[in-house]
């Protein structure tokens, strides 16, 4: 049986989006209560009855949350233009080495706006 597991994480951070037009509200310094979901997918191990321990996901994500929480995202290497899209890929790049079953990252910038990143796509897609 193939399953998808999701574990959610939260952090508070400020940013501005330097590529937006000068008068756009997102160009100005502002903050968000971010949430991101780490989604893993794979076969349930019959002898164990589960895919992966949720604690393993938390152990992989916790240092990253600490790096982001209550910081100015633009100052973090790789996040000079911290759009939801770039943040989702940034998270993927840091989690994938320790979570080989990673299937997607979903970043919620607000409670009504989200971006999902599913990793690099094969050429031609």
Q: Write out pLDDT tens, residues 22-52.
A: 898 888 889 999 999 999 999 999 999 999 9
Give the residue extent of every domain in the chain. 2-117
Is 98 a residue whose pLDDT tops 90? yes
The beta-strand segments (E) located in the chain are: 2-15, 30-43, 71-72, 102-110, 113-117
| Joined tokens for residue 102 | 């990673």
Residue 122 pLDDT:
77
Query: Percent of the chain having pLDDT more than 90?
Result: 87
Average pLDDT over residues 53-62: 98
Checking 49-58 for CB contacts under 8 A at 24+ apart, the result is 51/3, 51/5, 51/101, 52/5, 52/99, 52/101, 54/5, 54/7, 56/99, 57/5, 57/7, 57/99, 58/7
Least confident of 16-20, 37-41, 98-102: 16-20
The residues carrying an active-site annotation are 26, 70, 109
**Does residue 125 surpass a pLDDT of 70?**
no
If one looks up domain 2-117 in CATH, what number appears? 3.30.479.10
* pLDDT for the residue numbered 29: 87
pLDDT digit string, tens, across residues 62-85: 999 999 999 999 999 999 999 999
């Amino acid at each position: 049986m193939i399953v998808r597991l999701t574990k959610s994480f939260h952090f508070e951070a400020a940013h501005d989006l330097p590529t937006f037009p000068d008068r756009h509200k997102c160009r100005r310094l502002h903050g968000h209560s971010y949430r991101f979901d780490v989604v893993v997918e794979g076969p349930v191990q019959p002898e164990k009855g589960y895919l992966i321990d949720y604690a393993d996901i938390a152990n992989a994500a916790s240092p990253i949350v600490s790096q982001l929480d209550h910081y100015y995202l633009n100052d973090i290497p790789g996040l000079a233009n911290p759009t939801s899209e770039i943040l989702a890929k940034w998270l993927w790049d840091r989690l994938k080495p320790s979570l080989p079953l990673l299937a997607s990252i979903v970043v919620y910038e607000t409670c009504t706006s989200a971006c999902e990143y599913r990793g690099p796509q094969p050429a031609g897609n």
